[in-house]
A = this chain, B = another copy of it.
Amino acid sequence: MVKQERAARTRHALVKAAAVEFDRAGYEGTSLARISETAGISMGALTFHFRTKGELAVAVQRLGRSATQDVVTRVAAHPAPALQSVIALTLELARLLEKEASVRAAARLTREMPATTAATAWYPAWTHTVDELLEQARDGELRPGTDLRTVAALVAHLVAGAETHIRCRVPHTEHQSADAQLAQLWRLVLRGVSANPT
């Protein structure tokens, strides 16, 4: 029992260290030796728990998805108009990306691992809920005739932009947190940019 607990703790420490490394250096740039060093756990113990870098990457994606799903559950449980919930979810995701290496690593690994599937990728951990909320928002909240798939794609682009913002502070956004920036963008997107929309 104590032995099992110790093993679980070692596994968790390895996955946390791997998250930091994958977030910082990417899939190709991360080595098992470096993860072992960051975790302060021997290579022998590491390879006992994870035989390959790919196995560790999947464990990191799982950790990042799990933190993401907690946020999704929390936002979905909060009573609010559906479109407001979509916005709140994107702001929570921006905060989570800013705070959690495992979430940033999960997003990054989705881009960098060719073998990433819907079960391990980061986006599907939250986009299904966005789809459901948009379906609810269709009557009365969204402008009539708005295509739901296009709104869903816009949401995905904004969250991807927030991640980029966090990683490299794109121009005009240097002095804002990613979620404060996103809240401003939403105000613009809700009412529209054009003086003469066609």
Contacts of A197 in B (CB 8 A): 190-192
Interface size class of A (residues with CB under 8 A): 35 or more
Which residue on chain B has the smallest CB distance to residue A194? B190
Q: Residues 151-187 of chain A: 1 if any B CB is under 8 Å from the residue's CB, otherwise 0?
A: 1111011111111110110111100000001001101
- CB proximity of A163 to chain B, nearest CB, Å: 8
Identical chains in the assembly: 2
Contacts of A194 in B (CB 8 A): 83, 141-143, 190-191
28 A-B pairs whose Cβ atoms sit less than 8 Å apart in the complex: A28-B30, A116-B168, A121-B168, A127-B171, A142-B194, A143-B191, A143-B195, A150-B187, A152-B171, A153-B172, A153-B181, A153-B184, A154-B185, A154-B193, A156-B161, A156-B173, A157-B161, A157-B165, A160-B164, A160-B165, A161-B161, A163-B164, A164-B164, A189-B189, A190-B192, A191-B192, A191-B194, A192-B197
Q: Residues 111-142 of chain A: 1 if any B CB is under 8 Å from the residue's CB, otherwise 0?
A: 11000100001011001000000000000111
**Docked complex: A89-122 residues within 8 A CB-CB of B:** 110-112, 116, 121
Chain A facing B: main interface SS = helix
Q: Which 10 A-B pairs have the closest CB atoms?
A: A28-B29, A157-B161, A192-B192, A191-B197, A160-B164, A25-B28, A29-B29, A190-B194, A26-B26, A160-B161
Q: Are A111 and B168 in contact (CB under 8 A)?
A: yes
Residue A1 lies at the interface, judged by CB distance under 8 Å to chain B: no
